[in-house]
Amino acid sequence: MPRNGLPRNERLRSLGAIRRLFDSGQSGFVFPFRYVWYAEPDTETSVEVLFSVPKKFHKRANKRNLLRRRTKEAYRLRKQILHTPAATAAANIDMALIYSSKELLPYKTIEHALRRILEQVSAQL
């Protein structure tokens, strides 16, 4: 049975890793997300992810929290795309997902966009 949790060790929280990600990572855009990812070879496969909903687009905290929850849930259910042995040949992957739309989109749209992002990243590895 696959592990669908999102434990603390799978969340990107190191300031140095976040700086490295935004300085030398590759980026792309799939509506409604801007994503940045950085991969380096390692002995074990590990994926760490950062979720962000800027205050610039959504002033109310309850809307930002709702969108962040929807994004985390969609990632949690689709993260096996990156965890397959063929996709990640022993790499340490850091990823940031930034919600970049002013609209409050439904879960299905967010899930579809996240699946496309994960497939693009796994194809480029």
What is the structure's pLDDT at 1? 47
| Band of residue 65 on the pLDDT scale cut at 50, 70, 90 | very high
> What would the DSSP string read from start to end of 69-97?
HHHHHHHHHHTHHHHSTTT-SSEEEEEEE
Q: What is the pLDDT of residues 76-89, one digit of tens each?
A: 999 998 877 655 46
Instruction: Give yes or no for a contact between 75 and 49, defined as CB atoms under 8 angstroms apart.
Output: yes
> Across the chain, how many H-helices and E-strands are there?
4, 4
Residues pairing with 52 in the sheet: 98
Question: Is pLDDT of 109 > 50?
Answer: yes
What is the structure's pLDDT at 63? 96
Instruction: Give yes or no for a contact between 47 and 93, defined as CB atoms under 8 angstroms apart.
Output: yes
Instruction: Give yes or no for a contact between 34 and 46, defined as CB atoms under 8 angstroms apart.
Output: no
Residue 10 CB coordination number (10 Å): 16
Asked whether the whole model's pTM tops 0.85, one would answer yes
Q: What is the pLDDT of residues 15-42, one digit of tens each?
A: 999 999 999 999 999 999 999 999 998 8
